[in-house]
Structure 1
Amino acid sequence: MAIQLCVLLWARDRQEEALADYEDAVLALLAEHDGRLLQRARTLPGAAEGSPAEIQMIEFDGQTGYDGYMADKRRLALADQRDAAVARTEIYQVTI
Structure 2
Amino acid sequence: MSLTLCVMLWAVDGRLDDLAAYEDDVLTLLGRHGARLVARVRHRDGGDDRPAEVQIIDLPDEAALDAYMRDPDRLAMAPRREVCVARTEIMRVQHVAPR
After superposition, the C-alpha distances for 1:37-96 in whole angstroms (9 at most, x for unaligned) are 000000123x66101000000010111111100000100011110000000000000001
Listed as ranges, the matches of 1:59-78 within 5 Å are: 59-78=58-77
**Equivalents in 1 of 2:47, 2:77: separation in Å?**
29
SS in 2 for 1:29: helix
Matched letter for residue 21 of structure 1: A
**What stretches of structure 2 of length at least 5 have no aligned partner?**
none
1:2 alignment counterpart: 2
**Equivalents in 1 of 2:18, 2:84: separation in Å?**
5
The answer to whether 1:21 aligns with 2:38 is no
Number of aligned residue pairs: give it. Answer: 95
Structure-2-length-normalised TM-score: 0.92
Listed as ranges, the matches of 1:26-41 within 5 Å are: 26-41=26-41
SS in 2 for 1:32: helix
Structure 1 residue ranges (4+ consecutive) displaced by more than 3 angstroms after TM superposition: none
Percent identity of paired positions between Structure 1 and Structure 2? 45
**What stretches of structure 1 of length at least 5 have no aligned partner?**
none
Matched letter for residue 60 of structure 2: D
**CA RMSD for the aligned pairs?**
1.0
